[in-house]
Amino acid sequence: MNRRLLRHSFSLLNVDHVRLDQKWNYKHVISPYYRLYYIDEGEGFISGAHQKLKLEPGYIYLIPSFTIFNMQCPSYLSQYFIQFFEESPDGISLFQNNRTLVKLKASELDIANFKRLLHINPGRGINRSDNPKVYEKNVYYKEYQELNNRQSDAFYMETQGILLQLLSRFLPASPSPLPQSQPIPSKMLDVMSYIQMHLKQPLTVAQLAKRVNQHPDYFSREFLKYTGVRPLHYIHEKRIERAQYLITTTNMPYSEIASETGFDSLPHFSKIFRKVTGSTPNSYRKQHQSVNTI
């Protein structure tokens, strides 16, 4: 058996069948896990920086981890949804270079897989709220992952198999060359995820090094070794990626975007933005203003 088939595993967070209304209207959502939808009734929308997809019956949708998007229900929407973490020994996601929203016509097997996953994983819905800011918390992640540990081996393996089948629908059929990078240690992966989810908060090398119990100098060298850039450079890149999204999909003032992406002042934001993109925020907005906002 080709060993690459065993490189990725998945930890189920949530699966449920829900009926949504106009309250399901959230912008600038970014999650550390994947989302899969199957729509059986109604209408809704999900949109990214340069695309807008209609949620309609008979289709399945994929939102890869760390993909910023908006979601909206004008009136009524009935959907099956699955949320799950991806794990790989080298830290390279199946969708590392393609973090876009994807829509496919659902097959009978797809629909059966959604329903079967829900059947063998009861009680995995989100009962607190449909607002990501409410339910996206580490304490809840741990709570749901503990349910995975309590699963029987049979249902655990079947859950993995169903997730693999559903994800395979969104991958190209032709083989692609395997990345040659060395595996990224779990401590570095933890830091990278932490940065992605806390861009608005103050982030320092000392703080990140403390998180993984390393000396700042050693941590910085290790981060460079496995990512190719220093921690501060990585933080700046991810903040500017978020800023680019907000610039092209909203009319937020630059001062608000600077605050939303963790910069302490507009001049500092503008300086780093130009350094990373080669353009000023204003020029970038004029060139890339998206029509796909909701």
3-state secondary structure of 125: coil
6 DSSP assignment: G
Residue that wins the pLDDT comparison between 156 and 143: 156
Which domains are present in the chain? 3-168 (2.60.120.10), 186-288 (1.10.10.60)
Phi, psi for 169 (deg, rounded to 5) = -65, -20
CA distance 14 to 178: 30
Give residue-wise pLDDT tens across range 12-64. Answer: 999 999 999 999 999 888 887 899 999 999 999 999 877 899 999 999 999 99
* Predicted pLDDT of residue 98: 74
**pLDDT of the residue at 1:** 35
Residues ≥6 apart with Cβ < 8 Å to 201: 262
> Binning pLDDT at 50, 70 and 90, where does residue 85 land?
confident
Distance (Å, rounded) from C-alpha 73 to C-alpha 54? 10
Q: How many CA atoms lie within 13 A of 230 on its CB side?
A: 9
In the predicted model, is pLDDT for residue 4 greater than 60?
A: no
Question: pLDDT at position 88, please?
Answer: 66
Residue 253: how many CA atoms within 13 Å on its side-chain side?
5
